[in-house]
């Protein structure tokens, strides 16, 4: 793969990852597009930047998802504590 083709691929991946990061910051983690890219398909600097972005997306997504879950649990706890006859059931997700 030529250097120019590697740069184009790297720039597209980084652009996609930046969009993913912004989405994860707002909505939390969700699975989406998946690609397998070999390190040899990118220049080392681009590869390192992409790996760093992926790690940032993963950790940010986990934090946002955990925060949203805590907020939802607090909301449920508040409703349950104000109504002793109410109960909460969460079914199995397939």
- pLDDT of residue 70 exceeding 90, the answer is yes
Domain assignment present for 93: no
pLDDT tens digits along 25-62: 887 766 666 677 888 888 999 999 999 999 999 899 89
Q: If you average pLDDT over each of 26-30, 34-38, 67-71, 90-94, which comes out highest?
A: 67-71
Judge residue 5's burial from the number of C-beta atoms within 10 Å of its C-beta, 0-12 exposed, 13-18 middle, 19 or more buried: exposed
- From residue 78, give the alpha-carbon distance in Å to each of 21, 25, 86: 32, 26, 11
pLDDT at 94: 65
Domain assignment present for 11: yes
What's the domain range around 15? 3-82
Count of structural domains within the chain? 1
Domain assignment present for 29: yes
Percent of the chain with pLDDT over 70: 91
pTM equals: 0.65
What tokens does 79 get?
Answer: 């409703």
């Amino acid at each position: 793969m030529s250097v120019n083709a590697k740069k184009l691929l790297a720039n597209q991946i980084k652009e996609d990852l930046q969009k993913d990061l912004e989405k994860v910051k707002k909505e939390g983690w969700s699975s989406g597009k998946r690609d397998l890219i070999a390190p040899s398909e990118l220049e080392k600097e681009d590869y390192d930047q992409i790996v760093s972005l992926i790690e940032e997306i993963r950790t940010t997504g986990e934090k946002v998802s955990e925060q949203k879950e805590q907020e939802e649990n607090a909301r449920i706890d508040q409703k349950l504590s104000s109504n002793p006859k109410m109960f909460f059931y969460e079914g199995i997700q397939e």
